Amino acid sequence: MSDVDFEALAQAHVDGGRAEWGTMMGHRCLRKAGQFAAMVTKGEGHLVLKLDPTRVVDLVASGRGQSF
């Protein structure tokens, strides 16, 4: 995912009052109630999301995701 795509998607959540901008490990990120929610890694453009552990296991098992 490009930074531009992430910014547009995230800004819609910020504008709607569902999230706010923040930083994590030097990356601009989206936060919900002060907790990390999403970011795109610099360079690689990997979308990193905070998900329920069960969902992470399912995504990794299916080959569609990686644990971060």
Q: What is the 3-state secondary structure (H, E, C) of the chain?
A: CCHHHHHHHHHHHHHCCCCEEEEECCEEEEEECCEEEEEECCCCCCEEECCCHHHHHHHHHHCCCCCC
Is the predicted pLDDT of residue 67 greater than 90, yes or no? no
What is the model's pLDDT at position 45? 87
Residue 9 class from Cβ within 10 Å (0-12 exposed, 13-18 middle, 19+ buried)?
middle
Give the contacts of 47 (CB within 8 A, at least 6 positions apart). Answer: 1, 6, 38, 39, 40
Question: For the segment 12-66, what is each residue's pLDDT rounded down to a tens digit?
Answer: 999 999 999 999 888 889 999 999 999 998 888 899 999 999 999 999 999 999 9
What is the model's pLDDT at position 23? 92
What is the band of 3 on the pLDDT scale with cuts at 50, 70, 90? Answer: confident
